Amino acid sequence: MLVLSRKKDEKIVIGDSITLMVIEIRGDKVRLGIEAPRDVTVHREEVYDAIRREAAPDPKA
């Protein structure tokens, strides 16, 4: 895993089409702005995990 440090208003660029920007740092929370093409899905981890659970086949079936 690559670990980077950024301050407020600094950016990280991923490839040619994805940019992450630190919008706000408040206590132990960081707000990020994400610019990505519409065909790139972006989810918080807990939302992504829920989507995967719903899409998984039911083992009882």
CA distance 56 to 51: 9
Domain that holds residue 28: 11-55
Q: Give a yes or no: residue 4 inside a domain.
A: no
CA distance 49 to 53: 6
Confidence tier at 61 by pLDDT (50, 70, 90): low
Q: Give a yes or no: residue 3 inside a domain.
A: no
pLDDT tens sequence across 1-58: 999 999 999 999 999 999 999 999 999 999 999 999 999 999 999 999 999 999 988 7
The pTM (predicted TM-score) of the whole model is 0.79
Domains in the chain: how many in total? 1
Q: Give a yes or no: residue 31 inside a domain.
A: yes
For 51, the 3-state DSSP assignment is helix
Q: Give a yes or no: residue 61 inside a domain.
A: no
